[in-house]
Amino acid sequence: MLRYRILVVDDQESQREMLGGHLKNKGYAVTTAESGESALEISQRNFFEVALLDLKMPGLSGLDLLNRLKEI
- What is the fold of 5-71? Rossmann fold (3.40.50)
pTM score, whole prediction = 0.92
Task: Tell me the mean pLDDT in the region 28-46.
Answer: 97
Distance between CA atoms of residues 10 and 31, nearest Å:
11
Q: What is the mean pLDDT of residues 15-22?
A: 98
Residue 35 contacts by C-beta under 8 Å, 6 or more apart in sequence? 9, 11, 57, 58, 59, 60
Q: Please report the pLDDT score of residue 46 as a whole number.
A: 97
Which amino acid is present at 26? K
Distance CA 32, CA 20 (A): 7
56-69: average pLDDT: 95
How high does pLDDT run on average in the chain? 95
